[in-house]
Chains A and B, each alone.
Chain A
Amino acid sequence: MDIETSVVGTVTVVRLKAPRLDAAQSIRFKENLRGLAETGADHILLDMGEVTFMDSSGLGAVVNVMKLVGSRQRMELAALTPAVAKVFQLTRMDRVFTIHATVADALNAGLKAAG
């Protein structure tokens, strides 16, 4: 899975470039994000705007990375497409993650918290 990263202040924005976060992609996703978590990025924002499908394998991979990032760093999500948001809602995992409507919203929230 390709990812594009950009750093905005203390936030590392990670844009997923694959349309499907599913069983076929979940291992690659975890590998990619593991490296990022280990560089110690303080605040990771997962931009899921290009992901149009996520199943429970994909969700599990996101949880796995969240646990890896741990409580020292923060990981939040942004730009969930409707099908992906639905999976978070049905599994109640939307109560566990901080989910922003857009990357801009997330960055504004982050900047306010830092300032």
Chain B
Amino acid sequence: MQTSGIRTFTISIAIRSVQDEVAGSVLRICDWLASHAIAPAIRSEVELVLAEALNNVVEHGYLYSPDGAIEIAVSLSDVQLTTTIVDSGRKFDHLPEGQAANPEDLALADLPEGGFGWALIRTLTENVTLERVGDRNRLTLVHRIEDRQHVPG
């Protein structure tokens, strides 16, 4: 007989839509993950995904206005890491696919300088969902960690 001893730890951070605060919140979350013994390789991926998703809110949600509120919550269980990012910026209609062309096929002058973010987010997460909750956007990102925690390095 097993008791369901699944423990979940959560961290919640509220920031303004300013790039320095985005970077600060990402570092705080990574430190928190380290304090819960999450493997460096996983922390590295989470760091990137968080930076990409939050940059997207700053750039496209709040159009670089520094006055926007962003709420970040990360929940950690034995199985997965779930991040929710809530903002009151412009309505986020749909999740972009991400990078289309193979850059090696492009001429130098045609190389993209942006648009990589969503492809990175999709590749590095198990699941990404977008919801509209009242006048707010809620992005949920799931990282699976169960099988990866004890892989060395």
Interface residues in chain A, defined as those with a beta carbon under 8 Å from any beta carbon in chain B? 20, 22-24, 53, 55-57, 59-61, 63-64, 66-67, 70-71, 82-83, 86-87, 90-93, 95-96
Contacts and interface: CB of A to CB of B under 8 A. Distances in A.
A83 B112 contact: no
B66 to A, nearest CB: 12
B108 A67 contact: yes
Given A56-B116, A59-B116, A67 B111 contact: yes
Contacts of A22: 19, 23, 51, 55
A69 B133 CA distance: 46
Interface string B115-131: 11101100110000000
A24 B108 contact: no
Given A24-B19, A56-B52, A96-B104, A91 B116 contact: yes
Main secondary structure of the interface of A (DSSP, over half): helix
Given A56-B115, A67-B111, 15 more contacts: A20-B23, A22-B23, A22-B51, A24-B20, A55-B48, A55-B51, A55-B117, A56-B120, A59-B116, A61-B113, A66-B108, A67-B113, A71-B108, A82-B44, A95-B102
Nearest to A24: B19
Given A63-B113, A83-B48, A57 B108 contact: no
